Amino acid sequence: MADVKDRLASALLLAAIAAASPTGCSQRMPADSGELVIAFPGAPVSIDPRLSTDAYGTQILQMTHASLIRMDAAGNPLPDLAEGFEARSPTEVVFRLRDGVRFHDGRELTSADVRDTFAWILNPRNRSPHRSTYETIREIETPDSRTVVFRLSEPFAPFLAGMVRGIVPAGTRAAGYSPPIGAGPYRVDDYEQDTAIRLSRFEGYHGGAARIEQVVVKFLPDSNVRFLELKKGSVNLVLNGVEPDLIPAVLENGNLVMEEAPGSNVSYLGFNLRDPFLSDARVRRAIALAIDREAIARTLWKGHADLADSLLAPGFWAHDDKIPPLRYDPAAARRLLEAAGYRDPDGDGPKPRFRLTYKTSQNELRRRIAAVIQEELRQAGIAVEIQSLEWGTFFSDIRKGNFQLYSLTWVGIADPDIYHYAFHSGQTPPEGANRGGYRNPEVDRLVTEGRRETSREKRKKIYGKVQQILSRDLPVFPLWINRNILVRDRRLTGFVITPDEDYASVKEMTFRKGKEAGK
């Protein structure tokens, strides 16, 4: 992995500069006595920062645990526990901890806690799923209680991104569901697995105590129940948990308001390029032309979705803005299929040109979308059979490349290097995520070059080319990006919607007084 060396060094320098800017409230604000009740559409698997990989666990940890640094929406590091850091060399990074940071139990947070957190993850006996992220750490040194030195075995660009891991006190054992204490703005009072977690403000938080005293997160998998809890007022903040069709009904009672902001998760239709029909780019393009994405975004998503033209969201720095748009054109789709030699045996009659199966998870929304795509492809003369499978089975089939068509969503793309993982010919299963078996020497060359290149400008050009080629070859068809939808009590202010659904801004939230609420 020598190709990432230079990128690391420049990233660290940038970071050191960004770290100089101050954050946190220096003066204490008056406390809010109200209770913030958040609903999640699911329950976390683990809320130990050293083990948690699921989205809900991560979101809770954003409220309860502090890390060396944080990342802003654009991917730039911000200081958190570390007041600054510097890369002495591409393989040696030094963090300086803030003075007087305390854990929830009053213990002081020192360099030993930082070292121990990462040492625990790296210990194979603890089987942390995060170990691969830190495998390049050769040594962690703590010359004094406020300095941590990481020595790497080789330069590793994602190292800094890995420093957002929450720090736990040295010697904390993994205790399943009983969450370890942290140094974040909220402490865990009570955790009822699969039901709710209660948090209360940590007065000694190093960034200044949060404004709202009590935060409850309820885990409500049923969309009707989330709707009813909001209606009743027993939940007052939901991010991406209200179905677009229900938003007008939920806002009826006047206490709730809706905000939306662009998202970053791209839904796509995957093709198996080893399939005799789908190996033909004309067939793939015909399928893309036959799907009316505008109609789906307008109706099923009620406009709360943006059409995608690449795996990268339009706001992302490496996104290519000059990809020719692919518009719904059923006539062109039929012409392409004819040209590819697939004649419709009986015109508009029931006989199809050919048959495909479409795999999807058992999720109701995905089934609904599958039914729309099926119907639109039927009109183009392609018979589609939907196989809605239980998640474990579905994911296993997709990862093995056992499918013709499928649909999934890419979550958490932080770097265009995703193109190497998803489209390089060496990344076919079981190694990487090139599940459709796409092979293009030009793309192979570009995505390898993109990893080596350190200049953002040049990388943007390289990945621009990649996106152009992929929009022509269509090994996957990018569908849309759902917008992040926040429904909240109108008195609650301060929550910042980020593309990656970060809950760190909860500590800045406050209840506005009744009188101001009218406006």
Site residues for other proteins per CB under 8 A = 45-46, 51, 53, 124, 127, 129, 131-132, 174, 176-177, 192-196, 218-225, 227-229, 231-232, 234, 243, 245-246, 248-249, 295-296, 298-300, 361-364, 367-368, 370-372, 374-375, 378, 385-393, 395-397, 399, 421, 430-431, 433
> For residues 141 and 391, which CB has a smaller minimum distance to other proteins in the complex?
391
Q: Which is nearer to other proteins, 228 or 332 (by Cβ)? A: 228
Q: Which is nearer to other proteins, 50 or 98 (CB)?
A: 50
User: Least distance from C-beta 487 to other proteins, angstroms?
Assistant: 15
Secondary structure class of 484 (helix, strand, coil): strand
Which one, 36 or 183, has the nearer CB to other proteins?
36
Residue 174 or 496 having the CB closest to other proteins: 174
- Single-letter code of the amino acid located at 199: L
Judged by beta carbon, residue 71 or residue 250, the one nearer other proteins is 250
The span from the CA of 219 to the CA of 207, in Å, is 28
Per residue, the 3-state secondary structure of 147-202, as one string, reads EEEEEECCCCHHHCHHHHCECCCCCCCCCCCCCCCCCCCEEEEEEECCCEEEEEEC
Residue 176 backbone dihedrals phi, psi, to 5 degrees: 50, -115
Between 124 and 324, CB nearer to other proteins: 124
Which residues of 193-291 form beta strands (DSSP E)? 196-201, 212-219, 237-239, 256-261, 266-271
Rounded distance between C-alpha atoms, residue 93 and residue 151, angstroms: 7
Q: Is 195 left (phi over 0), alpha (psi -120 to 50) or beta?
A: alpha
Q: Classify the C-alpha dihedral 117-62-227-37 as positive or negative.
A: positive
What DSSP letter does each residue of 368-384 carry, written as one string? HHHHHHHHHHHHTTEEE
Question: Min. distance of Cβ 365 from other proteins in angstroms?
Answer: 8
**C-beta of 110: minimal distance to other proteins in Å?**
27
Q: Considering the complex, what minimum distance in angstroms separates the CB of residue 229 from other proteins?
A: 5
Least distance (Å) from other proteins to the CB of residue 441?
A: 24
Length of the chain, in residues: 519
- Least distance from C-beta 180 to other proteins, angstroms? 13
- 354 or 395: CB nearest other proteins: 395
Give the nearer residue to other proteins in terms of CB position, either 3 or 421.
421
**How far is the C-alpha of 446 from the C-alpha of 462, rounded, in Å?**
6
Task: State the Cα–Cα distance between residues 213 and 36, nearest whole angstrom.
Answer: 8
3-state class of 287 per DSSP? Answer: helix
To the nearest whole angstrom, how small is the minimum distance from the Cβ of residue 371 to other proteins?
Answer: 4
C-beta of residue 229 within 8 angstroms of C-beta of residue 218: yes
Name the residue nearer to other proteins (CB basis): 108 or 397. Answer: 397
Backbone angles phi, psi at 71, to 5 degrees: -115, 140
For residue 488, the minimal CB distance to other proteins (Å) is 18
Instruction: Tell the smallest beta-carbon distance from residue 231 to other proteins (Å).
Output: 6
Q: Residue ranges of the alpha helices (H) in 171-280?
A: 223-232, 247-251
Percentages helix, strand, coil for the chain, rounded to the nearest 5?
A: 35, 25, 45
Q: How far is the CB of 425 from other proteins (least distance, A)?
A: 16
